[in-house]
């Protein structure tokens, strides 16, 4: 026998036992996004490598070591998208969506990063992302954050997540701060680890979110970014906080929150949970007023976020919030005896016409009652609809409830759609 071929490390299959949870999550994401006036956009999975280098930043972990980059047959350098914001900006620009207008867009799909796989961290993972273009005022920051808060409420996990909030100020304020931070770090260079020493030269703000306790120790007394804010940045952030307060959305201010992508300015945020172990960030985003212009468009402010669907699904499963997920099959149709089969299939088609949303699975492959009941039970259906020769003569079916305590009953053929309707 030849050797079986395995999936690529860090790239997972999503099996039928999980896809119904994914579908439930995706339908909540879609519905809430449209509740807030966002429309779907779909971008290609592959983009020019330059798009990500120019937006995420040359000296970020993603661009330096995590991208799946290859030359195609023409010799063009292409990259499997590691995130959706840059492709969304590219698509909006290219298709004239940003020309003197606001846009509220969302997208969902696979992203690729060559990270070390572990629980909640994969090389192919799925994001739901949302971007609002053309609005510079803090109202949209709070509106988008409140949309994320609604997602957790609807998914039943709001008590298990915390919102962390920070402001990165403007590019100029950050540049001034960077100089002060580098001067501070240079004096303590011997206390830094190799990674932080390297970052100090390339991307000093990232030293702030080092996980190394020794580095955190060295940072005590470091200058604070907020001390470099001018009036506008201060007021913008205060407005975001005020709006979140008035909506009753709690947050923790975290001045170490700097994000791993370079395009942010002003408001940044992350939703974190302690129920996932090391990969506790389920959703992250912020403002990126310079990105559209940086990618060749007309200066247009932006605000958005992305969440990791795998992390949400893991969280829902570990918190046992998946009991109300609809099973793949609502009703299983058992047919006993060759003489009833043709009628059974005709009836099933009539019922599907009458109740298009019902998931009705016909038994195929014959067999006795025991075998068919076993299949019915395994299908996850709530009821088994049974048609035998006696039933056919009486134009009735027998309904057996597979979950709960309901007694078996007999139903006329034309009453079955009512029952199916109730199962949805």
Interface positions with ligand HAM (CB under 6 A): 83-85, 113, 115, 121-122, 125, 127, 129, 131, 260-261, 281-286, 304-308, 310-311
Q: Which is nearer to ligand HAM, 21 or 307 (CB)?
A: 307
What are the residues whose beta carbons fall under 8 Å from the beta carbon of 137, sequence distance 6 or more?
Answer: 239
The residue of the chain with the least Cβ separation from ligand HAM equals: 308
* Residue closer to ligand HAM, measured from CB, 107 or 332: 107
Q: What span, in angstroms and rounded, lies between the C-alpha atoms of 264 and 205?
A: 12
Q: Which is nearer to ligand HAM, 3 or 116 (CB)?
A: 116
**Smallest gap, in angstroms, from Cβ of residue 272 to ligand HAM?**
9
Question: Phi and psi (nearest 5°) for 44?
Answer: -65, 160
Provide, rounded to whole angstroms, the least separation between the CB of residue 308 and ligand HAM.
3
Closest CA to 302 of 41, 52, 88: 88
CB of 106 vs ligand HAM, minimal distance in Å: 10
Reduce the secondary structure of 104-134 to three states and give it as a string: EEEEEEEEECCCCCECCECCEEEEEEEEEEC
Cβ of residue 111: shortest distance to ligand HAM, in angstroms? 7
- Sequence-separated (6 or more) residues with CB below 8 Å from residue 276: 119, 120, 282, 311, 314, 315, 318
Determine the Cα–Cα distance for residues 376 and 359; give it in Å rounded to an integer: 13
**Strand 46-48 relative to strand 103-112: parallel, antiparallel, unpaired?**
unpaired
CA–CA dist 29, 306 (Å, integer): 11
Nearer to ligand HAM, 129 or 380 (CB): 129
Q: CB 399 → ligand HAM: shortest distance, Å?
A: 44
Distance from C-alpha of 269 to C-alpha of 149, rounded to nearest angstrom: 12
Q: Which is nearer to ligand HAM, 111 or 399 (CB)?
A: 111
Q: CA–CA separation, 145 vs 142, rounded Å? A: 5
Least separation in angstroms between residue 57's CB and ligand HAM is 12
Please say which residue, 141 or 391, places its beta carbon nearer to ligand HAM: 141
Closest to ligand HAM by CB, 310 vs 330, is: 310
Q: How far is the CB of 239 from ligand HAM (least distance, A)?
A: 19
CA 147 to chain centre: 13
Q: In the complex, what is the shortest distance from the CB of residue 133 to ligand HAM, in angstroms, rounded to a whole number?
A: 11
Least distance from C-beta 8 to ligand HAM, angstroms?
14
Instruction: Confirm if 81 and 32 have CB atoms less than 8 A apart.
Output: no
Residue 373 belongs to what H/E stretch? helix 369-379
Q: Which alpha helices (DSSP H) does 188-300 contain, by range?
A: 194-202, 213-218, 231-246, 291-294
């Amino acid at each position: 026998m030849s050797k079986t071929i395995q999936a690529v490390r860090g790239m997972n299959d999503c099996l039928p036992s999980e896809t119904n949870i994914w579908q439930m999550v995706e339908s909540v994401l879609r519905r809430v996004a449209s509740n807030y006036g966002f429309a779907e956009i779909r971008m290609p999975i592959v983009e020019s490598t330059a798009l990500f280098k120019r937006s995420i930043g040359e000296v970020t972990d993603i661009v330096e070591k995590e991208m799946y980059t290859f030359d195609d047959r023409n010799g063009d350098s292409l990259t499997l998208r590691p995130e959706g914001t840059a492709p969304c900006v590219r698509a909006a620009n290219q298709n004239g969506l940003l020309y003197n207008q606001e846009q509220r867009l969302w997208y969902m799909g696979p992203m690729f990063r060559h990270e070390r796989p572990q629980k909640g961290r994969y090389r192919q993972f799925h994001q739901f992302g949302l971007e609002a273009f053309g609005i510079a005022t803090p109202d949209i920051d709070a509106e988008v954050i409140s949309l994320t808060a609604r997602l957790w409420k609807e998914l039943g996990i709001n008590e298990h997540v915390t919102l962390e909030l920070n402001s990165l100020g403007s590019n100029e304020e950050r540049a001034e701060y960077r100089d002060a931070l580098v001067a501070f770090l240079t004096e303590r260079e011997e206390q830094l680890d190799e990674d932080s020493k390297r970052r100090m030269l390339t991307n000093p703000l990232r030293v702030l979110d080092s996980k190394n306790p020794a580095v955190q120790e060295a940072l005590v007394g470091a200058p604070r970014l907020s001390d470099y804010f001018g009036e506008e940045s201060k007021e913008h952030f205060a407005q975001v906080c005020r709006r979140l307060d008035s909506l009753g959305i709690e947050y923790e201010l975290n001045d170490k929150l700097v994000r791993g992508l370079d395009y942010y300015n002003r408001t940044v945020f992350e939703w974190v949970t302690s129920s996932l172990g090391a990969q506790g960030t389920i959703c992250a985003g912020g403002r990126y007023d310079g990105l559209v212009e940086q990618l060749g468009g007309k200066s247009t402010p932006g605000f958005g976020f992305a969440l990791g669907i795998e992390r949400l699904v893991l969280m829902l499963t570990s918190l046992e919030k998946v009991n109300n997920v609809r099973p793949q099959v609502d009703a299983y149709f058992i047919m006993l005896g060759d003489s009833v089969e043709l009628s059974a299939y005709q009836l099933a088609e009539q019922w599907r016409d009458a109740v298009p949303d019902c998931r009705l699975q016909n038994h195929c492959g014959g067999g006795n009652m025991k075998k068919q009941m076993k299949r019915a039970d395994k299908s996850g259906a709530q009821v088994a609809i049974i048609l035998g020769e006696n039933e056919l003569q009486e134009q009735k079916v027998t309904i057996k409830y597979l979950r709960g305590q309901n007694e078996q009953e007999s139903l006329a053929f034309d009453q079955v759609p009512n029952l199916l309707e109730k199962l949805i």
